[in-house]
Structure 1
């Protein structure tokens, strides 16, 4: 008891960073100004090593830029050297990210209802975490500082900010909406409200170690990065096997963990003052034995300094009264001031331990890695410095050779371009002439092509339209196939020869490493060139309208119009077909629409004037279609030539009419239709002869020009690549001149960074 009082009185006298005063029957007021707090060591160390690694990051990036500038074809640094230095960029970035997130973490464990949450609340000077009798905390609650002025919380894996009051529902075991035991809730508390959080300390509350068998999972998720473990025990009982088993598992995964044991609810000893010393000694001996002999994490003397007897509830009430928080005012048990100072003593030693542990465990390894990175990069720079001089002579010689090659390629390309343009123009003119001549010949043979079409002909309108469309396709296919048969082989052969000549000429001026790519531009005889003939008879002959009505070849109107030099049979087109003159004596192919021109200077005894009068009268009679006109014409003929001549003429005329009428069958109509179609299509096709030949010649010109352009592009790519190489060589020569100075500067910076890390070690890692 005397030792306990002495340790407490030393705190009351002002030993340590806390100035304390005791008021009679009043709250204990403690000035928590932590200007000299041990936690500030970690804060300063974190800031210092972060600043050093900012410089290391800049140094590595400068080294990478330098290595890239002297790598590749320059040959000063190999790709492996560049990759090795580049790898340090991501490593330094990863270390910087870890350093930004590094904080001092303390994890509180113990059995259910031992007061873990109350201890954390007392350290934070406010009732933040849910606490009470029974099983209260159901999941892991991590309290950390926030730069905002408002408190909030987040569940693990979510970015949603929740009201801090929600922690009572999410983490309380008695609430229906509680989380699972292995879940983690981040509670963000304003740093300005708590000095402990301002100093980068994170406090983790846990469920009771006696509520779940998943201890290994807890340790892996939440304990491996903890700097200090606080075992909150119940002073009314003793250390249980469950608590010991948990820390046995921790000691197997973490080497020499820092463990503090708080015997909470020590205020219960006030009711039994006669056994106070014996119970305290009993608890202390068991705790020392557990830390030093069972866990072997510290010596017995060190273990005595890590065992405290406190009342977290009294400490929380005292601190909330100091901050004038609305709390109940229970009567505190005797000796509450001493227990409060024991709690303050725990905080002081806890701060010293966690600061020393965090600086050593979190920064020592980073300091070593920083020194290694600086040394490795400096070694790579030394190698670059040594090879720079040897590469300079090689670069100068390469520059001379590239100049000569570029000049030769430009001269040869100018000559070949002029010659190939002349050759393409000659081929285009030749193809245009061939296509025009061949297409004209095929148009003259169009009637034979149309006669080859032997589909069933029916004069009905619907069938006739279908027949016409099929005939269009037949003509287009036939003309196209004939043109291809007569032209494609010759033109394709000429195209192959021209392309081969182009390729060979261009291959000769290309650099050797580009000839393989140029060879793939044209593969002779695998994809032969083929001229496309697009006649499009459907649209071309879309305005064709046949005239299949019966017309007597020797009708009066036809004869009169023939003598007048006019055509009697007009089809719907502006350009009617011209019919052949067939004598009427040919009986094997009577065509009703054939007109026969009879050239006679005089017919019978009538003069030219008489025939003119008769023709005008007959035309007027036919036009008016009056019976009287016919009678007058008949009377005039009887009077002029006699009834015998009229009778014979009428008989012959009637026989001819009857013959033509009887022979006006579907076959005759088909012949007439084909003749009209040939006449119309021939005229339309002649209109596109020049267009078709121009299109074919344009196709040839486009194919050859495209081929030549592709070859020229390969040459351009080669010359562009050579220009790039030449620029790189010039840059390399300049770089080689500056390489030694740049390498020396970076080497000196590496020495400076190594010295800074040594100073950091002396200041923070080697101090007591």
Structure 2
């Protein structure tokens, strides 16, 4: 059979006959590829791409969900309206974890790592799978460092090294950088990334990454290699030399791998099986290799059962497969002669690829995405629990805050109603007390005016008739009368009035304190004035009131015509009618307010008329001397001269007595009598004004006290109103928090179902 026939069979294996010795049991080895070697739409490798796209979309939603939740929780903590919520750091950790998962998902690929002893054909196997001679091959120790072949969207391949990750190099430089025979080779634990065009290789198009390694028998740093290159591998392919059994070095490597990874997927290629064409008892040797390999996989490393172990061992010739796929001229063997079993080994290699593709696709989906899916579900469930906790706390706090707000509203309503009633009551009380003060002060002041003569008599200062002394005497008398009246009125009124004011203030405090909360009661006494600060001032101002007083201490005969005329007219020597001091004659029913001065009724004063009459009488008296003589003549004729002489003598005696009695003391008595008459009449004019002024002082004191107390009540009202407003704001925010947390909880349930759907679709075994 010519080599061209084998090329045709490898390109279109479905045309192989069922009777072909090499085709038995391998008829399905072409599943997933069409006749031109491209991936079929039903290729197992498509599963990984679909799963990757699906889970990336889910985690985008998860990230958006957690980002919104992070902002939500951070806003709750910043506002502080919800108690015992300190989870923003926890949510931020969730977000960071999801970002880390998405970063891994974005670069996740199906990774297969090829290991084996030196010169077992690892690089040749990879080249055969890539259908390109990309990696350097040769006799002995060829690959000196790790080579990772991955897909690129560019049309040309290039290299990237760890030392210069941003500086692409030509693919041809791989021989100098990776070959053990090169003088410029990299370190054994270095990685060279080979970016090969995806359009040239079906495996790379489906996110498969192939990693070639140096021989595990040339370095003691297996632990470092495993940690650096193997922990994210989906499949391990041990390329063994079929000319010998499994070596302890190879076993030690996989013992180390299985200690770090839970049941790694392992394929064992018994390479160079083409040597079996020159050996006897091939089937016995093959069975021996198979038994020992299965025993290693199942009993020593315990990564699978015996049935699966048998399916993971393949007897192949990577060199024959590569030569066949490169379509080299001539026969695909080094000797140019077809060796026995060539077709079977090609089919076995193709079957390995088929099983490998199914395994790596399922394994990658499971190893890459199952853990992320479970972690995502865990994060979502944790966040759902967190949102349920916030929802429950919000609802509980809404009930508590609503109850507290209702109590505050009732307290505010009660305070407003009681304060209104108390205000009306206190106003009536102040009005009544002001009227009492006005009556009491007016009555006391009238009593003192009646006793003004006594007060004037108590004034004991030297009296002299000269005008300068009289002016000084009047000035001191003004001060004496003002101080004496004020002192007497204060002694009779102030104590009782101040006591009544204090009693009223205490009642105000007691009544208002009952309406205020405990913390406000402590402030009530602090805002009130001290008891000794209030004092009623009786402003009489006698100096200005009696400033126009003009004394008359010249001698006036009591039986003189002018005095007789005044007595007849009922006026004093100042022309002012004599009136009794009657308190009841003073009008007191005129309402007064602090803003309006007391309006007094017009006085019935005939002083001007009386002065006119007196002046007229004096003039008539001066001009009727002749008339008097005439009258005297008539009397003389009527009574006789004796009677007239006796009467005239007596008249003269009385005149002489009064004239001799008109001493400095008599002048002082006359002065004081005149002052009592004048000051009394003037003081009576200001009784109502003074009493009104005193009542106004009391009204101001009580009103000011009550205003300060009401201010404390207003402060308490304002605090209650502010607290109610704050409670309304808190309730509103709590309701928003409850609604948002419920939305987040439902979103978490939706995302959790999405991950469940992903698991059911991609991770549940059929």
TM-score by length of 2: 0.52
Offset of residue 30 of structure 1: 6.6
Offset of residue 271 of structure 1: 2.9
Q: Does the 8 A contact of 1:378 with 1:746 survive in 2?
A: yes
Going from structure 1 to structure 2, the CA distance change for 1:101 and 1:359 (only over 3 Å counts) comes to same
d(CA) in 2 for partners of 1:197, 1:730 = 62
> Is 1:17 matched with 2:24?
no
Q: Secondary structure at the match of 1:162?
A: coil
Structure 1 counterpart of 2:214: 207
Structure 2 counterpart of 1:271: 278
Offset of residue 278 of structure 1: 2.5
Structure 2 counterpart of 1:694: none
> Is 1:219 matched with 2:226?
yes
> Is 1:752 matched with 2:758?
no
Structure 2 counterpart of 1:743: 741
d(CA) in 2 for partners of 1:765, 1:304 = 24
Offset of residue 380 of structure 1: 2.4
Deviations 1:510-552 (A, max 9, x none): xxxxxxxxxxxxxxxxxxxxxxxxxxxxxxxxxxxxxxxxxxx
d(CA) in 2 for partners of 1:333, 1:235 = 16
Q: Does the 8 A contact of 1:118 with 1:131 survive in 2?
A: yes
Q: Secondary structure at the match of 1:291?
A: helix
Going from structure 1 to structure 2, the CA distance change for 1:74 and 1:246 (only over 3 Å counts) comes to closer
Q: Secondary structure at the match of 2:233?
A: coil
> Is 1:312 matched with 2:327?
no
Going from structure 1 to structure 2, the CA distance change for 1:34 and 1:330 (only over 3 Å counts) comes to farther
d(CA) in 2 for partners of 1:30, 1:14 = 16
Q: Secondary structure at the match of 2:159?
A: strand
Q: Does the 8 A contact of 1:70 with 1:732 survive in 2?
A: no
Structure 2 counterpart of 1:106: 112
Structure 1 counterpart of 2:186: 179
Structure 2 counterpart of 1:67: 73
d(CA) in 2 for partners of 1:5, 1:224 = 44
> Is 1:290 matched with 2:288?
no
Deviations 1:66-111 (A, max 9, x none): 2233333432265522222222111111111111122221111111
Residue ranges of structure 2 left out of the alignment (5+ in a row): 1-17, 410-722
Offset of residue 116 of structure 1: 0.3
d(CA) in 2 for partners of 1:276, 1:183 = 40
d(CA) in 2 for partners of 1:297, 1:382 = 42
Which one has a bigger Cα radius of gyration?
2
Structure 2 counterpart of 1:188: 195
**2:170 maps to which of 163, 175, 186:** 163
d(CA) in 2 for partners of 1:19, 1:53 = 31
**1:48 maps to which of 40, 54, 63:** 54
**1:93 maps to which of 99, 105, 116:** 99
Offset of residue 11 of structure 1: 6.3
Structure 1 counterpart of 2:765: 767
d(CA) in 2 for partners of 1:41, 1:753 = 21
d(CA) in 2 for partners of 1:366, 1:164 = 35
Going from structure 1 to structure 2, the CA distance change for 1:165 and 1:378 (only over 3 Å counts) comes to same
Q: Secondary structure at the match of 1:80?
A: coil
Q: Secondary structure at the match of 1:219?
A: helix
Aligned residues: 431
Query: Superposition pairs for residues 116-131 of structure 1, below 5 Å?
Result: 116-131=122-137
Offset of residue 270 of structure 1: 2.2
Q: Does the 8 A contact of 2:85 with 2:390 survive in 1?
A: no
Structure 2 counterpart of 1:139: 145
RMSD value, Cα:
3.4
d(CA) in 1 for partners of 2:233, 2:120 = 21
Offset of residue 18 of structure 1: 5.2
Deviations 1:641-666 (A, max 9, x none): xxxxxxxxxxxxxxxxxxxxxxxxxx
Offset of residue 282 of structure 1: 2.3
Offset of residue 251 of structure 1: 2.3
Q: Secondary structure at the match of 1:112?
A: coil
Going from structure 1 to structure 2, the CA distance change for 1:159 and 1:15 (only over 3 Å counts) comes to closer
Q: Secondary structure at the match of 1:207?
A: coil
Q: Does the 8 A contact of 2:198 with 2:205 survive in 1?
A: yes
Offset of residue 726 of structure 1: 14
d(CA) in 2 for partners of 1:53, 1:7 = 50
Structure 2 counterpart of 1:359: 365
d(CA) in 1 for partners of 2:336, 2:146 = 30
Offset of residue 334 of structure 1: 3.5
Query: Superposition pairs for residues 474-553 of structure 1, below 5 Å?
Result: none
Deviations 1:662-687 (A, max 9, x none): xxxxxxxxxxxxxxxxxxxxxxxxxx
d(CA) in 2 for partners of 1:291, 1:78 = 54
d(CA) in 1 for partners of 2:114, 2:158 = 21
Q: Does the 8 A contact of 1:395 with 1:732 survive in 2?
A: no
d(CA) in 2 for partners of 1:6, 1:731 = 85
**1:337 maps to which of 333, 336, 343:** 343
Q: Does the 8 A contact of 2:162 with 2:190 survive in 1?
A: yes
d(CA) in 2 for partners of 1:395, 1:177 = 81
d(CA) in 2 for partners of 1:77, 1:344 = 65
Going from structure 1 to structure 2, the CA distance change for 1:393 and 1:329 (only over 3 Å counts) comes to farther
TM-score by length of 1: 0.52
